[in-house]
């Protein structure tokens, strides 16, 4: 006669098994003690929940300032001009110095001047600030100017011929090499470096900016206005062109370390060769010079 197995009653214990069907053993005393120790440590690390009364009377922590007033070097506020990384040299125009970071032409940085026609207005912009360099006995290095330097015209700006070093080459690679070597030399007798480089790739400008960061003299790269839309590593980019009046220069800031300047600057920069022959009433009311006389305005 077959035996009938009855279902387990309340007094029959049920075996607990793991995922593999093996019976689970009860934890040992050491394992229970380890679990209790871990639970007490977690509870002690968690902050106590504040009561409703404490949360209502608690003082919120002060909001930290968005910008630390003591900014490290190389960092500036977006609505202020950046402090100069090196010594700055006055441009000779108070209106322009007020808008230049540091208050003048920067040293240890690259300055890019974009001109409608090379050899037209660069001396009217740069000569007032470079003349003091030659008076201190320093020299100006000119690399690849579009025209041979005119001694009498430059002497009217206070730039003597003995203070000019002229590198005459039409090869762009030789101009670039000469500029790099002069920046690396960083000679004490150099007051400024001017290089006419119409075609440069972005990586070449980046290399020049890296080298210029160690140069104690201002470094100017002169190019055409067609390059204004191209990227450039130069921290200062200006577009310069003649104004409606023969004695004016229009200067636009394309890039600078500081807030953008939407309106151009109008500088009073009459060429000394013309200012000496035109009487004051005529200088104040004269019309713009015709295109045929723009070459005379340049010197």
- Residue 153 belongs to what domain range? 88-298
For residues 167 and 126, give the distance between their C-alpha atoms in angstroms, rounded to a whole number. 19
Q: Is the dihedral of CA 191, 274, 114, 151 positive or negative?
A: negative
Q: What phi and psi, each to the nearest 5 degrees, are found at residue 173? A: -65, -40
Residue 183, in any domain of the structure: yes
Residue 71, in any domain of the structure: no
Is residue 79 predicted with pLDDT exceeding 60? Answer: yes
Number of domains making up the chain: 1
Query: Model's pTM, two decimal places?
Result: 0.70
CB 204 within 8 A of CB 223: no
Residue 180, in any domain of the structure: yes
Write out pLDDT tens, residues 190-229.
999 999 999 899 999 999 999 999 999 999 999 999 999 9
Cα distances (Å, whole numbers) of residue 294 to 118, 238, 243:
12, 21, 12
Write out pLDDT tens, residues 5-59.
455 555 555 556 666 666 777 778 888 878 788 777 767 766 666 565 555 565 6
Write out pLDDT tens, residues 98-152.
999 999 999 999 999 999 988 889 999 999 999 999 999 999 999 999 999 888 8
CB 258 within 8 A of CB 81: yes
Stretch (H or E) spanning 278:
none
Residue 138, in any domain of the structure: yes
pLDDT band at 273 (very low <50, low <70, confident <90, very high): confident
CATH number of the structural domain spanning residue 141? 3.40.50.300
Is residue 94 predicted with pLDDT exceeding 90? Answer: yes
Residue 256, in any domain of the structure: yes
Residue 92, in any domain of the structure: yes
β partners of residue 111: 220, 236
Q: What phi and psi, each to the nearest 5 degrees, are found at residue 282? A: -70, -35
Stretch (H or E) spanning 67:
none
Q: Give the per-residue pLDDT at 284.
A: 41
Residue 159, in any domain of the structure: yes
Put residue 227 in one of left, alpha, beta given phi > 0 → left and psi -120 to 50 → alpha: alpha
Average pLDDT estimate for 149-165: 91
Residue 236, in any domain of the structure: yes
């Amino acid at each position: 006669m077959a035996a009938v197995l009855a279902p387990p009653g309340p007094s029959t214990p049920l075996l607990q098994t793991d995922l593999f069907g093996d019976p689970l053993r009860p934890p040992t005393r050491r394992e229970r003690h380890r679990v209790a120790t871990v639970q007490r440590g977690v509870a002690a690390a968690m902050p106590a929940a504040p009561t409703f009364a404490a949360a209502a009377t608690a003082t919120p922590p002060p909001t930290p300032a968005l910008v630390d007033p003591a900014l490290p070097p190389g960092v500036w506020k977006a609505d202020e001009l950046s402090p100069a990384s090196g010594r700055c040299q006055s441009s000779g125009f108070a209106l322009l110095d007020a808008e230049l970071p540091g208050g003048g032409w920067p040293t240890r940085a690259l300055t890019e001047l974009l001109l409608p026609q090379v050899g037209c207005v660069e001396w009217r912009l740069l000569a007032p600030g470079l003349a003091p360099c030659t008076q201190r006995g320093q020299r100006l290095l000119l690399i690849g100017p579009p025209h041979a330097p005119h001694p009498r015209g430059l002497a009217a700006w206070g730039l003597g011929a003995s203070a000019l070093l002229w590198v005459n080459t039409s090869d762009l690679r030789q101009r670039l090499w000469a500029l790099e070597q002069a920046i690396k030399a960083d000679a004490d007798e150099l007051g400024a470096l001017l290089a006419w480089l119409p075609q440069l790739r972005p990586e070449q400008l980046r290399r020049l900016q890296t080298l210029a960061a160690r140069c104690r003299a201002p470094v100017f790269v002169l190019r055409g206005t067609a390059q204004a839309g191209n990227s450039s590593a130069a921290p200062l980019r200006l577009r310069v062109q003649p104004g409606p009046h023969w004695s004016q220069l229009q200067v636009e800031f394309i890039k600078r370390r500081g807030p953008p300047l939407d309106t151009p600057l109008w500088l009073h920069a009459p060429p000394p060769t013309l200012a000496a022959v035109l009487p004051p009433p005529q200088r104040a009311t004269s019309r713009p010079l015709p295109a045929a006389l723009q070459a005379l305005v340049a010197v």
